[in-house]
Structure 1
Amino acid sequence: MKAAVFRKAIEDEEEEEEEEVCNVFDGEVDSQTQTTSYHDTKTNLKGFFTSLLSMEEHGQEARKRSRTKSEEENGDINRKKSRAVASESSHVTGSEPVNQQRRLWVKDRSRAWWEERSRSDYPEEDFRRAFRMSKSTFELICDELNSAVAKEDTALRNAIPVRQRVAPLRLVSKKFGLGISTCHKLVLEVCKAIKEVLMPKYLQWPDDESLRNIRETYESISGIPNVVGSMYTTHIPIIAPKISVASYFNKRHTERNQKTSYSITIQAVVNPRGVFTDLCIGWPGSMPDDKVLEKSLLYQRANNGGLLKGLWVAGGAGHPLLDWVLVPYTQQNLTWTQHAFNEKMSEVQRVAKEAFGRLKGRWACLQKRTEVKLQDLPTVLGACCVLHNICEIREEKMEAELMVEVVDDEVLPENALRSVDAMKARDNISHNLLHHGLAGTSFL
């Protein structure tokens, strides 16, 4: 069952506003384009006629000299002048010699960096350091995406190979001998292909057998039974959008970092291996965790479809206590049993936080404000999560220094306790943890 949720970056009424603004902007661009095109046409015609006059002047000068010199010298001069005129006209008009293979507007950039790392004998550790994954994992991704992103050569230029199309997701464009605009286009093409081709395969809600293994693993970690996922909501910094800017303003990050911050959210459910099993991407950064949860497809399926009947998703202090969402105690003056429960819940929550730490460590673009358009961000962020899952499933090791400490302030929901049955169940779990020797004593 496919579990990823991809939504547009703003709500429906905001989308209508964005579409209206975009239409106005596009109209202005069209007007400017027409004006620019008109001036460019005049400039091009002027250059064209100038070229013809220049060629005519050279021809007259050549003929004048030919009358004063011998026939042999005249032939030599004509040949030299013909080459000079052809060369000059090529520079003036933008045309090129027939035997030249590349167009003038195709800039020749160095591909030495990429070609060196593409060699079969390139060291595995160096490749892993550059791409955040092994050669075998990289080749697997390229093979599965080949049919979706491969392009054919044209008369103007050779197509960029699949391996080189996939790689810019990690590396800077200048290292590949590609232009910035080309790199942006390739990244978005590859991200869309990942969403369509790889996401259904590598980002799924677990089947019954997998759920049983997940429950056993989480219970061995925490002593809490029937937990099938650790849920966490993180923020990805963005440049201030042109519309609905207040909804993306992240007050908590701004106060902590003393720098104005805007963000969008990623809510994920994570299994014990650090693999994302459910995603909700794109809600504005001002939205608290409980509201993001309510907007997610997971919430609808769990409340209306019985997806998690008798099971728990372990949430944080910012989530409400529901029949299927288990959260720590948040009131003051906790009892020993409540402290014991919170300690074990933090161990489950750590699984999700560390998974996001590896996600942001692998793809450093998630740590800083991105220039990707707001409407394209869910696709790009979803692709990063899918690639993260592939690395986690294949047990790709990650250097400790690359790990990112994830800090996201959790705001307590206004209505934190929404299920009487869940309150009783949480109290029973807390009692069992303490009185059956399953809880630690660090809270003492």
Structure 2
Amino acid sequence: MEAADVFLPVIAWCRTRQSQDSQAEARRQKRRLKLLAVQRLRLKKLRETWRLREKVYKQSKLRRLCSHDTWMKAITHQFLRDHRRKRPKVWLHPRTSDWWENTAATFTDQEWLQHFRVSRETFSYLCATLNPKLRRQDTNYRLCIPLEKRVALTLYKLAHPCDYRTVADLFAVGVASVCHCVHEFCTVVIEVLKPQLVVTPNKFQLDNIEECFHHTYQIPQCIGVLDSMNITISRPPHLNSEKPDGDSYLAILFQAVVDDKGLFWDLSMSCPTWVNDNSGELLVCEDFSTRMHNVCRTDSSCVVIGDAGYPSKNWLLKPSTNVSWLTAEQELLNTQIIAARSVAHYAFERLKGRWRCLSRRNDCNVEIVKDMVETCCVLHNLCEKNNDMCLPDWIGQEPLQTVDENPQKNSESFDDLLQLIQDSAE
């Protein structure tokens, strides 16, 4: 009984203590849950705050970028507007082309020949032959100059001693366009037509030329006549030599060999040099002498007739200069040589008569001047082969009398010399 009385309070106290501990643990657990909920709520609010701040930052950054992009676009637009090429007030200057389209279209054959120095058939041949090289296409900005007009204005420029502006006003084009058309036409003619029209004769052609000279002038083994002319030019900027005297002028020496029909078959030109009216004849370059030597010594000893002022060459036949000691045979040979040289003289007169640009000072570049001279020679051969007329007023004298299309010598002087030879022989 006493033992039970002792343990019962202890057991009651333990139970009470256990109940208190359980309640305290429940309160602590409740407090921990409450603190955890508060922490979660605080973290949630913090995340929302950072998310809002990040959104605001992105929006402000985007606004700054947009404003910077707009600012850069404005600066770029202003820069381009200030530095762009100013639009011309007149893109294409209005011109009237009545002369070419209306007046030239009504020309008679004689008037056409007078203005362009070639017949209509030769003009059509030039347009058809040079069309692959000179053909141009229209663009979205402007129409190209027609091929016929480009060929016509070039022929007019070569045929008349006028400047580029005169040709530009006639054909209703710009001055720069005239320069370009002339240079392009000359380049294409040299490339396409020169290999066909200005070539060294072959063996059969040389035999025909030799036979013609022998039949007409009694000069055997002659295959051509050598002559030259001076093309006056302006002083190039790179030329350092001074003018030697007051009578000298700057020129390009043009030298050519002519056959029995007055056609050029070899052309040579020198560099610009100071010349005067008393300058002697020169051989333009060593290459020319080599070519003549190769042609004349290919199969037989042929010769080329030249003036007495040329230097002595084994392929060059010149008249005797010591006229006070000439025999009748030498005087006869001199007369024959002079008569044969009239072929080259007349060919050069027809060349200068057709293409008057060769008779005045040329202000173009030296290389362009040479191309223009070669083009004129090619066109001369083309006109001669097509039997285009060469009017007497172009050369200022009546054409030489011809027999079988060859210049004829003065028969009376030859008869007198032949009679003198016969008398001396008796």
Q: 1:383 to 1:47 in 2, by over 3 A?
A: closer
Whether the aligned pair in 2 keeps the contact of 1:221 and 1:347 (CA below 8 Å) is: no
* Equivalence for 2:309: 318
The runs of 5 or more residues in structure 2 that have no matched partner are: 1-78, 157-166, 398-413
* Equivalence for 1:115: 101
Deviation at 1:404, TM superposition (A): 5.7
1:100-155 deviations in whole A, cap 9, x for unaligned? xxxx2211211111112553x64111111111111001111111111111111111
Hey, what's the Cα distance between the residues in 2 that align with 1:233 and 1:199? 19
Hey, what's the Cα distance between the residues in 2 that align with 1:240 and 1:176? 29
Deviation at 1:296, TM superposition (A): 4.6
* Equivalence for 1:244: 239
Hey, what's the Cα distance between the residues in 2 that align with 1:342 and 1:348? 10
Deviation at 1:322, TM superposition (A): 2.2
Q: 1:185 to 1:338 in 2, by over 3 A?
A: same
Deviation at 1:400, TM superposition (A): 0.7
1:380-419 deviations in whole A, cap 9, x for unaligned? 21111101110111111111111168xxxxxxxxxxxxxx
TM-score (norm 1): 0.64
Alignment of 1:96-245 (within 5 A): 104-116=90-102, 119=105, 122-171=107-156, 172-244=167-239
| Residue 269, structure 1, aligned to residue 257, structure 2 | yes
Hey, what's the Cα distance between the residues in 2 that align with 1:218 and 1:331? 25
SS at match of 2:310: coil
1:344-392 deviations in whole A, cap 9, x for unaligned? 1111111111111111111111111112101222212111110111011
Q: 1:45 to 1:205 in 2, by over 3 A?
A: same
Deviation at 1:173, TM superposition (A): 2.5
SS at match of 2:141: coil
Deviation at 1:301, TM superposition (A): 2.7
Deviation at 1:185, TM superposition (A): 1.0
* Equivalence for 1:392: 384
Deviation at 1:221, TM superposition (A): 2.5
| Residue 280, structure 1, aligned to residue 268, structure 2 | yes
Deviation at 1:303, TM superposition (A): 3.4
Whether the aligned pair in 1 keeps the contact of 2:186 and 2:375 (CA below 8 Å) is: yes
What is the aligned-residue identity percentage?
Answer: 28
Hey, what's the Cα distance between the residues in 1 that align with 2:345 and 2:264? 12
The runs of 5 or more residues in structure 1 that have no matched partner are: 1-41, 49-92, 97-103, 406-431
Hey, what's the Cα distance between the residues in 2 that align with 1:181 and 1:263? 25
Alignment of 1:322-341 (within 5 A): 322-335=313-326, 336-341=328-333
Alignment of 1:377-416 (within 5 A): 377-403=369-395
- The total of aligned residue pairs comes to 314
Q: 1:136 to 1:350 in 2, by over 3 A?
A: same
Whether the aligned pair in 1 keeps the contact of 2:104 and 2:112 (CA below 8 Å) is: no
* Equivalence for 2:289: 299
* Equivalence for 2:75: none
Hey, what's the Cα distance between the residues in 2 that align with 1:359 and 1:234? 11
TM-score (norm 2): 0.66
Hey, what's the Cα distance between the residues in 2 that align with 1:438 and 1:282? 43
Q: 1:359 to 1:285 in 2, by over 3 A?
A: farther
Hey, what's the Cα distance between the residues in 1 that align with 2:314 and 2:206? 18
* Equivalence for 1:358: 350
**RMSD value over aligned CA atoms?**
3.2
Tell me which amino acid in the other structure corresponds to 2:259.
N
- Relative contact order, higher structure (CA 8 A, sep 6+): 1
Q: 1:329 to 1:95 in 2, by over 3 A?
A: closer
Whether the aligned pair in 1 keeps the contact of 2:332 and 2:417 (CA below 8 Å) is: no
Tell me which amino acid in the other structure corresponds to 1:166.
V
Whether the aligned pair in 1 keeps the contact of 2:249 and 2:274 (CA below 8 Å) is: no
Deviation at 1:333, TM superposition (A): 1.3
Q: Which has the larger radius of gyration?
A: 2
Tell me which amino acid in the other structure corresponds to 1:318.
G
Tell me which amino acid in the other structure corresponds to 1:374.
V
